[in-house]
Chain A
Amino acid sequence: MNRARELLAPWQPSVREPFDLARAGHLLRRGAFGGSLALRRSLVARGVDAALDELFDPSSDPQLDAGFTDVVAFDDIERVRAYWVWRMVQGPPRIRARMTLFWHDHFATSNVKVRSARLMARQLQLFERAGLGKFDALLLEVSRDPAMVRWLDSESNVRGRANENYARELFELFTLGVGQYSEQDVKEAARAFTGWHLRGESFAFRQRFHDGAAKRVLGRRGALGGEDVVALAAAHPASARFVARKLLAFFVHPRPTTAEVDALAAAYRDAGRDLGATLRVLLRSRLFFSPRAWRSRIKSPVDFVVGMVRCLGGRAAPLRLTRAIADMGQVLLEPPNVAGWPGERAWMTSATWLARTNFAGRLFTAAYKTHPAAATVLERPRPAQRADLAIELLLDGVIDDTARQAIHRLAETGVPPADLLHAVQCLPEGHLL
């Protein structure tokens, strides 16, 4: 227990380990979608606690949110996708925005089957609204979310002919993981969800299709309804560890240790399964700022593209960005299946590496018009200064000596600044989160 406490104890900045550009960059990349050099510098000046306050700022931006109303009205999946990417690029650095992507991968719903841009947009709105609250409340809302109802066939789940799809994925992929429940649990939980249908495009409980007889689910007996099953699954001890593991894999390291999972699961229970409170502990922890977490994940296409544009502090046409993200293997709102994207090394293939490399090249070549930060590289008179600024801009200034020397040599050949930025971004470090 002591060791567990140590892992999540608040990280203390010191002279040897200050809250510097690298740590501010790490916090912004993992907790948001990255940020400009100016933002990183201002966070360093304000300190780690102020940086966390910024990340966890609960206020919402009505101008940013107004777009949801528009895309819901348009009902065009390309527009929803582009709007979402635009939010990621233009929005303030918020953990809330980051969690929307996390939940989209966790509750992976695809428009290939839902076939309604409107419902997909409403699901994103749900993640944005409830993604940092209590897990129990989020899970209940997701279970009644119209896109989810269509995605996992809840509408064909009726008394006498139960459809197990939602019940199974609820246990297997959303809360417990394989091995923590029995086939009987799935069968009886499916009966508890009978009648959870839609009327038009809204959730409707239809009593006459509901099986009101007694069931036994996860050790509890009674005339259980869907709400009871959701509450049982969320409160199950395996669920705390399951959620903790997913959060650690997303925020800290792709393969969390048992000790790490135990520690975060305990913190999550202590916080009454409040996700915002749990994440605040995690992102302030020694573990989060440890070498184990630093550049230990491979950027997803969203991280790569959105992060690069935010790094430059500039703008880009969102539709072009969503297509670039798709070229790199991530079609937002169409995850490959209900388990979400495999992620990490699976992102990197010959084809997707080329897509990343060529997109970066095009972005930097075009950058001078639209990205003020990129233009500053031009203004540095000496090649070494240009090289160092490029490394600072894109890699928080952290790179080993041999790589730095190689970038310096490249700068001395007098290549255009766009090529310099391109080369820095294409270093292996440029693909690490």
Chain B
Amino acid sequence: MIVADNDTLWRLVRPKEARCKLPQVERLIAHADTMAASKLLPQGPGRGFEHPQLSLILKDGDKVLFGLLFGDYGGDKQIYVRDLVRQQDFLAPAKEAEDFEYSADDLADIPLSHVVQ
């Protein structure tokens, strides 16, 4: 979980406490903003959303502004995606999910003292 202290200071809260790299956070939000699906799907079961590979939720306080679940692969380099706000399922290029695969180390800034050591 990442929390904004102000416009330019983002803090990683879980799985460890650290200051975030601002460019990584901005890239993550920008990617969410520009992401496009390739097909709208009718609602249906069996797409792996019970145990999603990845989930991304953007909030304003406790209010969910944007939420995605990435389920199973749908073949042809496509992945099932559920939009939690609109409650709609899509097929999207699997690459879209890969671009959200950040580890805590990718997001955490290196403390200055560490660099000096």
Do chains A and B interact in one complex? no
**Partner-B contacts on A (CB < 8 A):** none
**Partner-A contacts on B (CB < 8 A):** none
